[in-house]
Amino acid sequence: MKRVPVLEARHIVKELGQGDAKIRALKGVSLTLFPGEFTLLMGPSGSGKTTLLSILGCILSPTSGTLTVSGECATGRSAEELADLRRRHFGFIFQAYNLFPTLNALDNVKIALDVRGFGAAERRERAEAALRDVGLSHRLNSYPGTLSGGEKQRVAIARAIASSPSIVLADEPTSALDTENGHAIMALLAKLAKDENRTILAVTHDPRTIPYANRVIEIEDGRISGQKKSAEAPHNIAEHQTGSGRVKNNQRRKRHVHA
């Protein structure tokens, strides 16, 4: 059966800065993402990962090249049209969680649904379901200041998935976390891709997270320098227990991605 891509980028070039300081952050990047795939984007600092994620997520427009999201052309669009594409197709997860400190976990997730036209009852239902999916049903009323880093990132993931976006983009979602929480977050993202057929692209520096992914894309100096595909569906390497947020089966993590 032919797989239908959810996102296609072709020959993306992005110039940033002005005059003498102008740099070409992306030098012709092409990539295709499919439903149910968990892809890692890896590369040195300054290689263009955040710029690429911003273009794929319709936050930035490319200088040249084309982007297609679920069959819709996303290049040459106005700011409002890009915002509409973002709302309809994407969820975003950031390194720094970006939660509102004055809102509890439930409201932090609900507020992301405000701009999406859901009614009050559905907002609450979706927010509760998303927090349940990330193992935080017992933390609905907790404020970010009382949550651990791993829990805060789970709230951020719940916020990103609550509107059921087809694509979730995560920029270094585990870099502020310790190893154990980092693994648990990666296992959770892998599970979301598999169980709900979402497309997930996560930037990471940590090679220990490779076993959780279906595919690894390497970027260097604004160009894709390598791609690895896993030899087998890797999601079963870590059975994620949503209740405690722990990853079981540590010993099986060693089997992993072969180029």
> What is the closest distance, in whole angstroms, from the C-beta atom of residue 216 to ligand ADP in the complex?
15
Cβ-Cβ contacts under 8 Å for 176 (sequence gap 6 or more) = 95, 96, 97, 149, 153
Q: Is 259:231 a contact under the CB 8 Å cutoff?
A: no
From the list ligand ADP, Mg ion, none, partner contacted by residue 173 (C-beta under 5 to 8 A by kind): none
* Contact positions with Mg ion (CB under 5 A) in 109-148: none
Is residue 50 a contact point for Mg ion (CB under 5 A)?
yes
Name the helix (H) or strand (E) containing 80: helix 79-89
For position 45 contacting ligand ADP by CB under 6 A, the verdict is yes
> Toward ligand ADP, which CB reaches closer, 20 or 80?
20
According to DSSP, the β-strands at 223-229 and 215-220 are antiparallel
- Partner touching 204 among Mg ion, ligand ADP, none, CB below 5 to 8 Å by kind: none
Q: Does 174 bind Mg ion (CB under 5 A)?
A: no
Nearer of residues 49 and 183 to Mg ion, judged by Cβ? 49
Compute how many other C-beta atoms are within 10 angstroms of the C-beta atom of residue 202: 26
Please enumerate, as own/partner, the contacts of 110-113 that have beta carbons within 8 Å and a separation of 24 or more: 110/162, 112/159, 112/160, 112/162, 112/163, 113/162, 113/163
Q: How far apart are CA 68 and CA 75, in angstroms?
A: 8
Q: Which is nearer to ligand ADP, 107 or 220 (CB)?
A: 220
Residues binding ligand ADP: number (CB under 6 A): 12
Member of 33, 38, 40, 49 binding ligand ADP (CB under 6 A): 49
DSSP 8-state symbol, 244: T
Residue 110's closest CA among 139, 89, 130? 130
Which of 36, 40, 50, 238 is the binder for ligand ADP (CB under 6 A)? 50
Q: Does 174 bind ligand ADP (CB under 6 A)?
A: no
- Taking the C-alpha atoms of residue 207 and residue 259, their distance in angstroms, rounded to an integer, is 14
For residue 25, state whether it binds ligand ADP (rule: CB under 6 A).
yes
Residues that bind Mg ion (CB under 5 A): 49-50
Residues that bind ligand ADP (CB under 6 A): 16-17, 23, 25, 43, 45-51
